[in-house]
Chains A and B, each alone.
Chain A
Amino acid sequence: MKKLKKIILLFISLLLLSSCFEIIEEITLHKNGSGDIAITLNLSQSKSKIASIMLMDSINGFQIPSRSEITNFVKKTTVTIKNTSGISNVKSSLDLDNFILNFSCNFENIHALNQVIAAFGNHKERSKINKQQHFIYNTNTQHFSRSYHYDLSKEFDKVKAIDKNALKEASYTTIYRFDQPIISTSNRLSKLAPNKKAVLIKVSGAAMLTGEHSIKNNIQLLKEK
């Protein structure tokens, strides 16, 4: 009977092919290198599929985490971030009906911000992320850069054609706000706000994985005396 349940559920989840999600990374960076970050992971567009999958223990040997396991992961990560020096005002909310995770905190300097990103990885990834520095900000030159060093295209080759199509619907958005106007950006997807103090990049999951586009950006701000 348990097997039968699994078959029916798998069948339902297979029909719900559209596994789209969006990630939004918002950072407000002040001149002195302090600021705040908000990360939103929104899977609500695939909520039916996820809800069906979550009633199963595993798919093709891949363990499906339970609701409590997900809650625990978020709690643990939040605690890790709270205990990071230079971090304050940590807030997180998890909506397991719509599968939306909201996380935000304030940081005193760029080093603390990198620690926040590292905290979302596992132990091994954490030290790697720490070394690579996702964010660099030079208070003297007023230069801000966002980078990462994963080779996503290798991972993408492993993805099945049908899943690749689903990833087209997925997106990663970065929004960075500054005190002073932006002079130049390196990423050609950059869209500047009319006041020139904010920049938005939206990249589709597929374009990011094939390496066609990325969220990497070098931003030069106007130096004010």
Chain B
Amino acid sequence: MKKKNNLLLALLLSTTLIFAQFKSLERIIPSNAEMVVSINGNQITELLSITNFDQSEIGQLLLKEMKRSSDHVKSIADLGFKIDAKAYYFFEVKENTSFHNFLIKIDNRENFEKLFSSRDRKKIEIINNTRILDLRGDISVWTDNSLLLSFSKSLHSTDDENSKTSRKDYALNLLKTSAINSVLTIPSYTKSKNKKASASFWVKNYSDFMSLMLKDVFKSMGKLRGYQNMDFYGINALSGHLFFDKDKVALKTTMHIDKEWQNDFKKIYDKKFNKKFYKYFNQNAAIAYFNLTMSTKGILESYPNIMANMYETILPKYKEETRVAADLLNIILDEEAIEELIGGDFLFVLNDLKQQETNYTSYDYDADYKKTEVIKTKQELLPDFTLMMSSKNEKFLTRIMRLGIKHDLLGNKGSYYSIIEAKKLPIDLFIGIKNNIVFLTSSENRLQQIMLGTFKSNLGKHKKLLSKNAMTFYVNGTEIIKKTPKDMINFDKKFEKLMKIVVNKKLEVALSTSKFKASKIETKLIINTPENEENSLRFFFDLFNEFVSNK
């Protein structure tokens, strides 16, 4: 059996073409790959040098660990990998086996081989300058300059000897991937590539990928049989890039929406940000905000369809029933009337965090331990916020407010209302309606300014974030940390140390989701880091080092 295998290997590897291809790692990723992740070592080592890494707390910890088994390792450069090159991971499923593969450039084969124990090293097979090591089904194949690591897992519950042999064949076959079978022939992959990114990922089809991952993770649980082929994510290809700029980290992902869902997405996202909200936004009084701009009408029209699609997948037997139910719902709902009442756009602004003194009861004891009630005070952190929601049906809303006053739920304050139930809360709540906007706020003063038209707005850079996206979540981390008294949150010492570093530095987080455009939705997570730092990767690396360090 072994002889036959070796013969096969020799045949597989005897063409020089193979070695030519193995030099370009990306080319041997097959077009069947479900997911590809690439790490741009060149970019990363430019931002964080190998020396910097070696000297850091994390580097030292890692090297200390490595030295135990391989004493030649004095730097991560001694591992034998070409760290400043691109490395890849890809995931593929073949014949009911999932394969997790890594492709890494090697710059010192001997150093790399030292990472294996001398016992394992004896098992290395050499065929035409290619080395193969099979460690209980984990396959490593390498030449002088490239390495393929392949880990696999059977999606069947039985794991026999045959499948282990085929794992080796699988790895060797990968090296044979021809230009026509490569992932580079797939337009959605090549289009998604970005040279400037420090790391990237691409998923061929999100729905398929999720089903496979669920199988891979839950194969032994056997509970998911009915859900294995679910296709209700509505997302086709998914790709993303991570960038480390000088003063910000950005993670940008792009979702391609399935053709059959595009119409629904179009309807849901068919809504413009209510520009009147701008008038009531002041960046100097906004330590965090969240906005959502979606069409209520679109949601109501599409929701039954989306639900029907989902149920059809889960319960194919009841396809007709779900369709009828969906159509019925469409008939009953008056989408336009509801849209008029609830616009589907919200803006929640956390204006401030205030400390307030509150009383509480406690007890004192005399010499004989007889207790007496005493009133003590303590500081509480209370949110000050404003919520805006558009509504075109002011008349109807005013009638609801009057009903609220009649039933003692609301207090009449002239041009606005107070919420009586909020009296049980440590903060007050007020409602006002103006310019087709419903305001809910904790500040009476602010609502008075809004109603009188004396509120001063200041949009700054936030105009773009608010108007261009369907959803934005922004947090001014520095302000929140500053406003939170240290004694109020008893984080452990390590966190406290981090907070002390961060509190004097600019740190803002913004997560935004674009509108639906050209069958795509883009999501951006941007973390602004201090401008005077070397670069954002260094900033986070140093911060993380500070966290692991025990000094």
Contact = CB atoms under 8 A, between A and B. Distances in A.
Given A16-B381, A48-B425, A55-B421, A98 B365 contact: no
Interface centre among B346, B383, B387, B490, by most A CB within 10 Å? B490
A220 interface: no
Given A12-B383, A198-B369, A45 B362 contact: yes
B19 to A, nearest CB: 53
A197 B370 CA distance: 12
Contacts of B358: 47-48
B353 A193 contact: no
Given A8-B387, A195-B368, A42 B361 contact: yes
Interface in A1-24: 4, 8, 11-12, 15-18, 22, 24
Contact of A26 (B353, B362, B371): B371
Contacts of B371: 24, 26, 175
Nearest to A48: B426
A11 B290 CA distance: 13
A100 B363 CA distance: 12
B492 to A, nearest CB: 7
Given A24-B371, A98-B360, A175-B369, A161 B387 contact: no
B425 A12 contact: yes
Interface string B491-525: 11000000000000000000000000000000000
Nearest to B365: A200
Most chain B Cβ neighbours within 10 Å, of A16, A54, A194, A200: A16
A177 interface: yes
Contacts of B421: 55
Contacts of B363: 22, 24, 40, 42
Given A8-B387, A195-B368, A100 B361 contact: yes
A54 B378 CA distance: 21
A100 B488 CA distance: 23
Contact of B490 (A165, A198, A199): A165
A98 to B, nearest CB: 6
Interface of B, secondary structure class, is strand
A22 B373 CA distance: 13
Contacts of A161: 492
Nearest to A199: B369
B425 A51 contact: yes
B490 A168 contact: yes
Contacts of A22: 362-363
A162 B492 CA distance: 9
Contacts, number: 80
B328 interface: no
Interface in B337-374: 346, 353, 358, 360-363, 365, 367-369, 371
B453 to A, nearest CB: 26
Nearest to A175: B369
B216 interface: no
A130 interface: no
A51 B426 contact: yes
Nearest to B356: A48
The 10 A-B residue pairs whose C-beta atoms are closest, nearest first, are: A165-B490, A48-B426, A44-B360, A44-B361, A45-B360, A198-B369, A51-B424, A175-B369, A200-B369, A193-B368
17 contacts: A4-B387, A12-B427, A15-B382, A16-B381, A17-B489, A18-B488, A22-B362, A24-B363, A40-B363, A42-B363, A45-B378, A48-B358, A98-B361, A100-B361, A166-B490, A193-B368, A193-B369
Interface of A: 4, 8, 11-12, 15-18, 22, 24, 26, 40, 42, 44-45, 47-48, 51-52, 54-55, 98, 100, 161-162, 165-166, 168, 175, 177, 193-195, 197-200
Given A12-B382, A22-B363, 14 more contacts: A15-B353, A24-B371, A44-B361, A47-B360, A48-B425, A52-B426, A55-B424, A98-B360, A162-B491, A175-B365, A175-B371, A193-B369, A195-B368, A199-B369
